[in-house]
Amino acid sequence: METFTPQLLKGKIAFIAGGSSGINLGIAHGLAAAGARISIISRRIEKVDAAVAELRAAGGEAMGLAVDVRDYPGVEAALRATHEAWGPIDVIVSGAAGNFLAPAIGMSANAFKTVIDIDLLGTFNVLRASYEFLRRPGASVISITAGQAVNPSLFQSHACAAKAGINMLTKCLALEWGPAGVRVNAIAPGPIKDTEGMARLTPTPESEAALKSVIPLGDYGEKRDIADLALFLCTDSAKYITGAILDCDGGSSLSRIGPARAPEAPAAATGSR
268 belongs to the binding site for ligand COA (CB under 6 A)? yes
What is the number of other CB atoms lying within 10 angstroms of the CB of residue 102? 25
- Name the residue nearer to ligand NAP (CB basis): 61 or 71: 71
Those residues whose C-beta lies under 8 Å from the C-beta of residue 238, and which sit 6 or more positions away, are 140, 183, 185, 232
Q: Which of 157, 155, 224, 254 is nearest to 2 (CA)?
A: 224
Question: Tell me, what amino acid is at 223?
Answer: K
Instruction: Report, in Å, the least distance between residue 211 CB and ligand NAP.
Output: 10
For 271, other C-beta atoms within 10 Å of its C-beta total 15
Say which entry of ligand NAP, ligand COA, none residue 111 contacts (CB below 5 to 8 A, set by partner kind).
Answer: ligand COA
CA atoms in the 13 A half-sphere facing the CB of 213:
9
In terms of CB distance, is 80 or 113 closer to ligand COA?
113
13 near 87, Cβ under 8 Å? yes
Position among 149, 198, 230, 231 found at the interface with ligand NAP (CB under 6 A): 198
Contacting range for ligand NAP; rule: CB under 6 A; set: 27-35, 187-195, 233-241, 252-260: 187-195
Using Cβ positions, the residue closest to ligand COA within the complex turns out to be: 98
Please report whether residue 24 would count as binding ligand NAP according to CB under 6 A.
yes
How far from 185 is each of 41, 243, 260, CA to CA, in Å? 20, 5, 30
Q: Is 197 in the site for ligand COA (CB under 6 A)?
A: yes
Number of H helices, E strands in the chain: 9, 7
Using CB under 6 A as the binding rule, whether residue 194 contacts ligand COA is answered as no
Nearest-angstrom CA–CA distance, 84 and 235:
24
Q: Partners of 140 in the beta sheet?
A: 91, 183
Tell me which amino acid residue 140 is: S
Contact call for residue 54 and ligand COA (CB under 6 A): no
Judged by CB under 6 A, which stretch of 7-15, 83-91, 94-102, 103-111 contacts ligand NAP? 94-102
Among residue numbers 115 through 154, which ones bind ligand COA (CB under 6 A)? 115
Residue 111 binds ligand COA (CB under 6 A): yes
By the criterion CB under 6 A, which residues form the site for ligand COA?
A: 97-100, 102, 106-108, 110-111, 114-115, 196-197, 200, 268-273
Contact residues for ligand NAP (CB under 6 A)?
18, 20-24, 42-44, 47, 68-70, 95-98, 118, 122, 144, 146, 189, 191-192, 195-198
